[in-house]
Structure 1
Amino acid sequence: MTREDFKNLPLHKKIRKLYTEGTFVVGIRYYGHKVNLYLLENEYIEVFYNHKLDKIDKIDFLNLSHTRMKFYLDQIDLKI
């Protein structure tokens, strides 16, 4: 599956694909969200869970230049 194919999936299918075929890497707290990082087919994908609203707000590919990277790199060695 290409990045574009994954991006075009509806949210519920992204969730299913990550939970059935992906590997959970780590979870962090980030501005009111619990962000779970998954590895799927050699791509890192973030799942933004809003615990106050009890819903997933966003699922997207990891942006390697984002400041969130420091939270991940403190905990794990990402193979990128």
Structure 2
Amino acid sequence: MSREEFTNLPLHKKIQLLYMEGTFVVAIRYYGHKVNLYLLHDEYIEVFYNHKLDKIDRIDFLNTAHSRMKFYLDQIQISI
């Protein structure tokens, strides 16, 4: 599946795909969200869970240029 195909999936299909085929890597806290990082077919994907609203706000590919990377790199070794 390409990045574009994954991006265009509805949220419930992204969740299903990550649950069935993805591997959980680590969770961090980031500005009111619990962000779960998954590995899916050699791609890192972030799941932004809003615990106050009890819902997933978004699922997207890891942006390795984002400042959130420091939180991940403090805990694990990520191959980029």
Q: Which runs of 4+ in 1 moved over 6 A?
A: none
Query: 2 CA distance for matches of 1:12 and 1:71?
Result: 27
Q: Measure, in 2, the Cα distance between the counterparts of 1:19 and 1:71.
A: 23
Stretches of structure 1 lacking an aligned partner (at least 5 in a row): none
**1:42 corresponds to:** 42
| RMSD (CA atoms) | 0.3
- Cα distance per residue 1:26-76 (max 9 Å; x no partner): 000000000000000000000000000000000000000000000000000
Q: Which letter maps to 1:76?
A: I
Matches within 5 A, 1:1-80: 1-80=1-80
TM-score, normalising length: structure 1? 0.99
Q: How many residues of Structure 1 are paired with residues of Structure 2 in the alignment?
A: 80
TM-score by length of 2: 0.99
Distance in 2 separating the partners of 1:77 and 1:25? 10
Superposition deviation, residue 79 in structure 1: 1.3
Identity of aligned residues (%): 80
